[in-house]
Structure 1
Amino acid sequence: MNISLFYFVAFLSIFFSLLVIFSKNPVHSVLYLIVTFFTFTVHYILLNAQFLAIVNFIVYMGAIMVLFLFVLMLLNLNKESEPAKSPLLKIAGVVAGMCLLVTVAGSVKTLHTSNPIVLQSPTLGLVKNLGKVLFSDFLLPFEVSSILLLSAMVGAVLLAKREPNDA
């Protein structure tokens, strides 16, 4: 693994995470969060965890963040409708921020004193190995869950189907 690429992507993750926090526009904040999740996907690929990278890409970037964007656009947020924040809430935010600062300082301190972990098996997080186990040892639970999901989908369609009006 190229260590300089890892640190560059880590810097981008931190940078875009800070942009998520400090952005004034909520839509821009969600877009920065999508870029942050993309940097996490790159981290997973660098760590040879392709399945986690694919799941992160599809589930978080594809589904959840699009849902966040739709919710933000439907809420129509503006300054006039925002309630005033109490001083207790502001104090709690400062205490939480200080706890985060202490945690980051401790992490940076241990970063310089610890050695990186090297995996014993470089094929540990490959999708091919997951597929072999899923379709050999866990074939029955996999098929049962597919039948359960299919029956739930048929049930949802039947519940949503409107009855024709008999006049």
Structure 2
Amino acid sequence: MAAPPMFFLLATLAVGAGLGMLIAQNPVSSALWLVLNLFCIAGLYLTLNASFIGVIQILIYAGAIMVLFLFVIMLLNLSALPELEQIDWARVGAFMVGLVLLSQLLYVVALEFSLGVEPVAAMEAADAGSAATLGKLLFTRYALHVEVAGILLLAATVGAVLLAQRRFE
């Protein structure tokens, strides 16, 4: 079975791409690191038998949202931003050690309260991740959440257009 090794490989690549996105000096290369991260996350969904969500991850996030990000980067004229200071690797290391300690603490707490995740059969996961099941949930149980997310995205788009328009005047 190749799913667990592929899952951990894609998870490691996703973390590495996330770090590359944070460390990159150029905003366009940072956006490209984010595209790699989004593709790795889509691969993680595919290894978990959630094929619909994996394909939507590629189409929506790695496609449409990243094009929007690149347009915003081009509109904002990021060459006028001040230079960032050098990375303090001691702080980065301390942050990573803190994350490791926090994950160990959460693992111990999860074991103490029996909060472990139980594995799901492949057929159940494929059925729960199908387009019909997700559509039914989105339009019934989570309809308000989807509408609020749409309103927030609309407000963010209007704000970005107003900010870009102010810079060109």
Q: Same fold (TM over 0.5)?
A: yes
Query: Does 1:107 pair with 2:106?
Result: no
Matches within 5 A, 1:47-66: 47-66=48-67
Partner of 2:130: 127
CA 1:97–1:3 in 2, change beyond 3 Å: closer, same or farther?
same
SS at match of 2:128: coil
User: C-alpha deviations, 1:2-49, integer Å up to 9, x for none?
Assistant: 211111111101111110000011000000101100000000011111
What runs of 5+ residues in structure 2 fail to find an aligned partner?
85-90, 144-169
User: C-alpha deviations, 1:120-167, integer Å up to 9, x for none?
Assistant: 424333425527x74xx96xx9xxxxxxxxxxxxxxxxxxxxxxxxxx
What runs of 5+ residues in structure 1 fail to find an aligned partner?
86-93, 142-167
Partner of 2:5: 4
Partner of 1:154: none
Partner of 1:82: 81
Indicate if the aligned counterparts of 1:6 and 1:43 stay in contact, CA closer than 8 A. Answer: yes
CA–CA separation in structure 1 for the residues paired with 2:93 and 2:58: 29
CA–CA separation in structure 1 for the residues paired with 2:118 and 2:37: 24
Matches within 5 A, 1:1-167: 2-78=3-79, 81-83=80-82, 102-107=98-103, 110=107, 117-120=118-121, 121-127=124-130, 129-130=132-133, 134=136
TM-score (norm 2): 0.59
TM-score (norm 1): 0.59
Q: Name segments (4+ residues, structure 1) moved above 4 Å.
A: 96-101, 113-116
| Structure (1 or 2) with the larger CA radius of gyration | 1
Q: Percent identity?
A: 30
* 1:41 maps to amino acid: A
CA 1:84–1:4 in 2, change beyond 3 Å: closer, same or farther?
closer
